[in-house]
Amino acid sequence: MKYEMVAGLETHVELTTKTKIFCGCTTQFGGDPNTHCCPICIGLPGTLPKLNEEVVNYAIKAGLATNCEIPEISKMDRKNYCYPDLPKAYQISQYDKPLCLNGYVELSNGRKIRLTRIHIEEDAGKLIHSHGDTYVDYNRGGVPLIEIVSEPDIRSPEEAKEYVEKLQLIMKYIGVSDCKMQEGSMRCDVNISVRPEGSDEFGTRTEIKNMNSITFMTKAMEYEFNRQVDLIESGGKVEQETLRYDEVSDTTSSMRGKEDANDYRYFRDPDLVTIQVPREKVEEIRKTLPELPDQKLQRYISELEIPENDARLLVKYRAVAEFFEKASEGTKTPRTAANFIIGQIFSILENDNAKEEFDIKVSAENLNALIKLLDEGKIKMNLAKKTLAKMLETGKAPSELIDENDMGSLDDAALTELCQKAVEANPNAVTDYKNGKVKAIKALVGFVMKNSRGKADAAAAEQKLIAMIE
C-alpha cells in the first residue's frame, strides 16, 4: 500500500522590535544571562504587562503579506503550562481571536498552503543543560513572536522546505524579522501524520518540536514519515505525542504526550485590554508593504528579461535585490548588472550569510556608472571586468580607475593592424591552431586585447584572426 504524508507547520518568528512585547527591555540577541529582563519579564507578583503597539503593527504587516484577513477585534489569552523557562507558569498568547486569519502561501507548483492564523505571543526563556545541572536564562523571555499556523496542506519535505523558505523571505522583505534560524529567531514545529494514498481521513499526528534548521527539518520529516509507515504496516499504532529530533542519529524520540488546546486551559488575560484594529489602520499598514518576492521575481523575468534562475538568485537576498535595482537603473540592459552581481561579485562572497549581508566596497551607483560606460561604447567588457575587480578591492569609482586614453574603441583598420601583429608575433599559436588546437586562438586574442589596452572587441578580434590564419 502507498502512503501519503500529511503535514502542517507552526512557525515561530521573532520580531525585530527594539523592545519586548510587554515591557521596555531590549530584544537584542546575546548578552550575559538574565541581564535583558525585568520584573515584568519574569512575572514577579504585582507587575502588569502593557502591549507593545509595534508588535501588533508587525503582525498585521505579516498577515497582509501572506494574504490574511485582519479581524477588527482581537484579544490576548493565557496559555497555562508549568515549565522552568516560563516563570509565570503561563504564556501570554492568543487563542480564539488572533490578529490574522485565513491566509495562504503559494508554492512554485501552484499549490496554496493555507494559513489558519497568525497570532502574537511572548517567547519563553532558555534552558541550558550542563554536567547534569540546568540553568535558566530569561533574556529571551518576553521577546515578541508571531506564530504562523498552517493547515495540514503540506505533502512532502520538499514542499515544507519551499514553504518555510518563502515565509522566511517574505518576513525579511517586509522587515519584521531577520529570520536567523541559527539564532532561534525562526523555529518550526512540524505536525505530521500518514494516510493511505487517496484517503481523505487524517491519521494520528505527532509533533516534532523546535526545528531551527531547514535541512534538519526535512530530514526529520523523512524519518518520521518512514517510522509511521513501518509502524502501521507492522500492525502497530501511531501514538499522539511530541517528539524531539536527534541530528546525530537522524532519529526522532518521544518527549511527552501531545497536548491538545484544552490541556492548556486557555482563558482571556485579565491584565490586557481588547485589541481593536480599525480598517483605516490596516490600509495604512498595507501601504507600507514593499514589492514582495514573488511579485519582484515575475517583474524581473517579464519586464527586465532576466533569466529565471538568475532572477531567483537576485530576489533570494533582499539586500542584493535592492542593490540590483539601483545598479541597473537607466541602463540599456539590466541583465548586465545581474551578470556582474551573480558572476563577479558573488564570487568574492563566501556563503549565503555574506550574500545576505552584501557588505561590499562597490556602491550601486558606481556599478551603474561602469555599466553606462559600457552602454555608451566607451569601454569594452574585458576592461569593465578588470575595472570592477579594482572597484571591489578599493571602493573607488570607475572614473578614478579608467584613464581617458583607455576609453573609446578601435576602428576596423586599427583592429585589423593589431590582429596582423598578433599573427606575426605568435607563430607557435598560429601553428597550433592550424593543427587543430582551437583554444590556441585565445593566445592571439589576448595579444590584441593587451596591446589595445582593452579597447578591442574580443569577439570581432577572434573572427578577424581566424580569417587571417585560414
Q: What pLDDT is recorded for position 25?
A: 96
CA distance 300 to 112: 23
Contact of 38 with 25, CB cutoff 8 Å: yes
In terms of residues, how long is the chain? 470
> Which pLDDT band holds residue 82 (cuts at 50, 70, 90)?
confident
CA distance 206 to 439: 60
pLDDT single digits (tens) 340-359? 999 999 999 988 889 989 99
Mean pLDDT is lowest, of 53-57, 116-120, 203-207, for 203-207
Stretch 5-9: mean pLDDT, rounded? 96
**What's the number of CA atoms in the CB half-sphere (13 Å) around residue 75?**
15
pLDDT single digits (tens) 277-329? 999 999 999 999 999 999 999 999 999 999 999 999 999 999 999 999 999 99
Residue 10's SS3 state is strand
Q: What pLDDT is recorded for position 438?
A: 81
Angle, CA of 379, 380 and 386, to the nearest 5°: 90
**What's the number of CA atoms in the CB half-sphere (13 Å) around residue 285?**
22
Q: Which region holds residue 67: left if phi is over 0, alpha if psi is between -120 and 50, else beta? A: left
Q: Which residues pair with 211 in a beta bridge?
A: 188
CA distance 50 to 71: 21
Q: What pLDDT is recorded for position 230?
A: 94
Q: How many CB atoms lie within 10 A of CB 232?
A: 18
CA distance 379 to 362: 19
Angle, CA of 372, 322 and 161, to the nearest 5°: 130
Contact of 100 with 68, CB cutoff 8 Å: yes
CA distance 245 to 168: 22
pLDDT single digits (tens) 375-399? 888 888 888 999 999 999 999 999 8
CA distance 437 to 432: 5
Helix 308-315 with 293-302: angle, nearest 10 deg: 150
Stretch 207-214: mean pLDDT, rounded? 91
Picking from 251, 257, 176, 183, the residue whose alpha carbon sits closest to that of residue 213 is 183
Quickly tell me which residue has 492548556 as its cell. Answer: 264
Q: What pLDDT is recorded for position 409?
A: 60
CA distance 5 to 66: 24
What is the 3 state secondary structure string of 36-83? CCCCCCCCCCCCCCCCCHHHHHHHHHHHHHCCCECCCEECCEEEECCC
Q: DSSP letters of 232-300?
A: HHTT-----EEEEEETTTTEEEEEEEPP-GGGGT-EE-TTSPPEE--HHHHHHHHTT----HHHHHHHH
User: Higher pLDDT residue, 192 or 129?
Assistant: 192
Q: Which amino acid is at 98?
A: P
CA distance 466 to 463: 5
Contact of 13 with 177, CB cutoff 8 Å: yes
Q: What pLDDT is recorded for position 457?
A: 75
CA distance 155 to 112: 12
CA distance 26 to 92: 18
pLDDT single digits (tens) 17-37? 999 999 999 999 888 999 999
CA distance 36 to 18: 12
Domains and CATH numbers, the chain: 3-285 (no CATH), 291-406 (no CATH), 412-469 (1.10.10.410)
Q: What pLDDT is recorded for position 404?
A: 54
Residue 253 pLDDT > 90: no
**What is the distance of C-alpha 462 from the center of its chain?**
43
Q: What pLDDT is recorded for position 440?
A: 82
Q: Which residues of 434-450 are buried (b: 16+ CB within 10 A; e: fewer)?
A: eeeeeebbebbbbbbbe
pTM of the model: 0.82
**What's the number of CA atoms in the CB half-sphere (13 Å) around residue 434?**
11
